[in-house]
């Protein structure tokens, strides 16, 4: 930062106006060259960053999803159904993450509800892995690989029943999941190939993308006949909503 | 004579080598130290609150900030066997006091500045390790921790610039002058890189906000 300018400007203050003017000009010039190099560079960098941000926002804005697209996103033909209602009157969809403690807390309620209602409701499970859970994707991939051998429900149960064993560990639990697959009697060569395949990864991502389209921001998120369930995700709350739907 | 003075100044617009005044470094250390101390204090209080009430999270959120409670329960939150914010609680006030002394006109010896430099190096290194853990190992962001990241980057930059400027640290004068000429651009670029990394890492969530 320049200090010299102030001194000469002050000295010029006593002199005739012409000299004062030129001194003031010189001071401004000094300020510009010294001080504003920093300011210019800093503001320039910030301007570039803002421009990049604006570009990113504009490119990713995209149109809002149409209502039809949203309705279709709740249940896809290839979504995993744990049960299918004969009258297809009530469909419960759960977006879940196998490593989410809130999903684990809701799991006994869900199982109680499923046991109670059986084929009177369609129960659909969709993947919504949360990035802050280190093994959420690995678990979803294991479930999807099991699904490809017709064992989705068995793996779904296994993963929740053992969640406290493998959950919230920073190391990959893929080997643990392979052990579960073995216990379920799966073809291990196929299972390992599926877990590592892009098809399985894409299938999980497609579920998560549907969730994002529907405005899912966390797990567990339930939809009952396409309506987002806003009550407490426990047995009483879910039962009330399911009964309301069945009796409507 | 006055005209001559002005002319001389005009001919050598950059006559004065760029330098950080004691007021600039003084205020930077004071404000940075106070903000850092406040953030460390809030984090300590939150840690105590967390210990007495594990808390109930109704959902697991993709919002990296909402899942930040989980950060404080990780091993990284107590690297040295005690909660990390205690380090900041003890050291940021010293930085603030140093800054206040400078504003009041005190001039400190070289050993003081080198000690401050050592603290700044440790602090800036530590917050980068923590931010790496936060982004790529834990996958969540904690707002008050990020305040500390910002403060540490600014404090490190200005402490280092000051020490280079006053010769407490050896460096070619040309390099020092170049750095001084763009002093605030240094932390700006630094923080923008960090912001970009956060933007990319949690893109799945930010996208839902657009």
Number of domains in chain B: 1
Q: What percentage of chain A exceeds 90 in pLDDT?
A: 62
Chain A positions in Cβ-Cβ contact with residue B210 (cut-off 8 Å)? 57, 60-62
pLDDT in tens, A217-245: 889 999 999 999 988 888 999 999 999 99
CA distances, B72 to each of A167, A185, B138 (Å) = 17, 40, 10
Residue of B nearest to A97 (CA): B60
Same domain, A91 and A49: no
More confident residue, A235 or B1: A235
What is the band of B45 on the pLDDT scale with cuts at 50, 70, 90? confident
Of A26, A170, A220, the CB nearest to B10: A26
Residue A141 pLDDT exceeds 50: yes
Of A22, A29, A42, the CB nearest to B13: A29
B162 alpha-carbon distance from chain centroid: 15
Contact at 8 Å (CB) between B134 and B141?
A: yes
B41 alpha-carbon distance from chain centroid: 16
- For residue A174, report the phi and psi dihedrals to the nearest 5 degrees: -55, -40
Query: Rounded to whole angstroms, how far apart are CA atoms B8 and A27?
Result: 11
The verdict on a CB contact (< 8 Å) between A1 and B20 is yes
Contact at 8 Å (CB) between A122 and A92?
A: yes
Please count the other Cβ atoms lying within 10 Å of the Cβ belonging to residue B179: 18
Same domain, A47 and A149: no
Q: What is the mean pLDDT of residues A110-125?
A: 94
As given in the structure block, the two tokens for residue A37 are 């190099």
Among candidate residues A12, A42, A61, the one where a domain is terminated: A61
Task: Quote the pLDDT of residue B57.
Answer: 52
Q: What CATH code is carried by the domain that includes residue B133?
A: 1.20.1440.130
Bond into A220 cis (ω within 30): yes
Of A37, A49, A132, the CB nearest to B138: A132
Q: What is the mean pLDDT of residues A128-136?
A: 88
Of B14, B61, B199, the CB nearest to A217: B61
Same domain, A106 and A40: no
pLDDT in tens, A151-174: 999 999 999 999 989 988 888 999
Residue A10 pLDDT exceeds 50: no
Instruction: Tell the burial category of B31 from Cβ atoms under 10 Å away from its Cβ (0-12, 13-18, 19+).
Output: middle
What is the band of B138 on the pLDDT scale with cuts at 50, 70, 90? confident
Q: What is the mean pLDDT of residues A140-149?
A: 97
Same domain, A34 and A77: no
pLDDT in tens, B168-190: 999 999 999 999 999 999 999 99
Task: Quote the pLDDT of residue A126.
Answer: 97
Residue A32 pLDDT exceeds 50: no
The verdict on a CB contact (< 8 Å) between B137 and A170 is yes
Residue A26 pLDDT exceeds 60: no
Task: Quote the pLDDT of residue A15.
Answer: 45
Same domain, A124 and A198: yes
Same domain, A37 and A77: no
Rg (CA), chain A: 30
Residue of A nearest to B192 (CA): A49
Residue A184: CA count within 13 A, CB half-sphere:
26
Full residue range of the structural domain in which residue B159 is found:
21-209
pLDDT in tens, B79-122: 888 889 999 999 999 999 999 999 999 999 999 999 999 999 99
Task: Quote the pLDDT of residue A64.
Answer: 61
Q: Is the dihedral of CA B160, B161, B162, B166 positive or negative?
A: positive
Same domain, A78 and A55: no
Number of domains in chain A: 2
Task: Quote the pLDDT of residue B168.
Answer: 94
More confident residue, B205 or A32: B205
Residue of B nearest to A61 (CA): B210
DSSP string, chain B: -HHHHHHHHHH-TT-SPP---HHHHHHHHHHHHHHHHHHHHHHHHHHHHHHH-----SSEES-TTGGGGGGGGSGGGGTTSS-THHHHHHHHHHHHHHHHHHHTT----HHHHHHHHHHHHHHHHHHHHHHHIIIIII----HHHHHHHHHHHHHHHHHHHHHHHTTSS---HHHHHHHHHTTTHHHHHHHHHHHHHHHHHTHHHHHHH-
What is the band of A30 on the pLDDT scale with cuts at 50, 70, 90? very low
Same domain, A152 and A230: yes
As given in the structure block, the two tokens for residue A118 are 């059986």
Closest among B89, B98, B110 to B43, alpha carbons compared: B89
Residue of B nearest to A96 (CA): B60
Among candidate residues A61, A84, A100, the one where a domain is terminated: A61
So what's the ipTM on this one? Answer: 0.76
Do the domain assignments include residue B10? no
What is the band of B64 on the pLDDT scale with cuts at 50, 70, 90? confident
As given in the structure block, the two tokens for residue B160 are 């280092």
Closest among A99, A94, A82, A78 to A203, alpha carbons compared: A78
Full residue range of the structural domain in which residue A36 is found:
4-61
More confident residue, A202 or B47: A202
What is the band of B137 on the pLDDT scale with cuts at 50, 70, 90? confident
Same domain, A124 and A15: no
Q: What CATH code is carried by the domain that includes residue A177?
A: 3.40.30.10
The verdict on a CB contact (< 8 Å) between B63 and A217 is yes
Of A26-40, A140-154, B130-144, the poorest mean pLDDT is in: A26-40
Closest among A233, A246, A20 to A110, alpha carbons compared: A233
Count chain A–chain B contacts defined by CB atoms under 8 A: 143
Same domain, A126 and A154: yes
Same domain, A204 and A81: yes
Same domain, A75 and A53: no
Query: Rounded to whole angstroms, how far apart are CA atoms A9 and A32?
Result: 15
């Amino acid at each position: 930062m320049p200090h010299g300018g102030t001194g000469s400007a002050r000295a010029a203050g006593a002199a005739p106006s012409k000299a004062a003017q030129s001194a003031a000009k010189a001071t401004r010039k000094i300020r510009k060259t010294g001080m504003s190099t920093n300011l210019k560079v800093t503001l320039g960098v910030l301007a570039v960053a803002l421009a990049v941000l604006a570009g990113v926002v504009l490119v990713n804005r995209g149109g809002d999803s149409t209502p039809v697209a949203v309705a279709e996103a709740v249940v896809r033909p290839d979504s995993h159904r744990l049960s299918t209602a004969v009258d297809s009157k009530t469909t419960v969809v759960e977006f879940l993450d196998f490593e989410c403690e809130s999903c684990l807390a809701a799991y006994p309620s869900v199982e109680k509800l499923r046991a109670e209602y059986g084929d009177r409701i369609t129960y659909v499970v969709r993947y919504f892995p949360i990035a802050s859970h280190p093994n959420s994707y690995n678990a979803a991939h294991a479930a999807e690989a099991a699904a490809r051998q017709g064992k989705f429900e068995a793996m779904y149960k296994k993963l929740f029943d053992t969640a406290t064993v493998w959950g919230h560990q920073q190391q990959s639990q893929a080997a643990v999941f392979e052990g579960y697959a073995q216990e379920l009697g799966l073809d291990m060569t196929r299972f390992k190939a599926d877990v590592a395949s892009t098809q399985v990864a894409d299938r999980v991502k497609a579920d998560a993308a549907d969730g994002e389209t529907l405005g899912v921001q966390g797990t567990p998120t339930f939809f009952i006949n396409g309506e987002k369930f806003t009550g407490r995700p426990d047995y009483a709350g879910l039962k009330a909503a399911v009964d309301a739907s069945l009796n409507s | 004579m006055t005209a001559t003075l002005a002319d001389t100044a005009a001919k050598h617009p950059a006559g004065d080598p760029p330098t950080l005044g004691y007021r600039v470094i003084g205020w930077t250390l004071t404000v940075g130290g106070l903000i850092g101390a406040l953030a460390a204090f809030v984090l300590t209080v939150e840690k105590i609150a967390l210990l007495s009430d594990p808390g109930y999270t109704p959902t697991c959120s993709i919002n990296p900030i909402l899942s930040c409670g989980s950060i404080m329960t990780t091993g990284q939150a107590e690297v040295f066997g005690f909660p990390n914010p205690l380090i900041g609680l003890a050291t940021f006030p010293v930085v603030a006091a140093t800054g206040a002394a400078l504003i009041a006109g005190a001039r400190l010896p070289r050993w003081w500045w080198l000690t401050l430099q050592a603290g700044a190096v440790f602090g800036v290194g530590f917050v980068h390790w923590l931010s790496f853990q936060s982004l790529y190992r834990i996958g969540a962001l904690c707002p008050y921790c990020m305040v500390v990241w910002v403060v540490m980057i600014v404090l490190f930059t200005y402490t280092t610039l000051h020490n280079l400027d006053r010769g407490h640290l050896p460096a070619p004068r040309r390099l020092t002058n170049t750095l001084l000429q763009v002093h605030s651009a240094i932390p700006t670029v630094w923080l923008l890189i960090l912001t970009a990394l956060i933007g990319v890492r949690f893109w799945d969530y930010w996208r839902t906000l657009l």
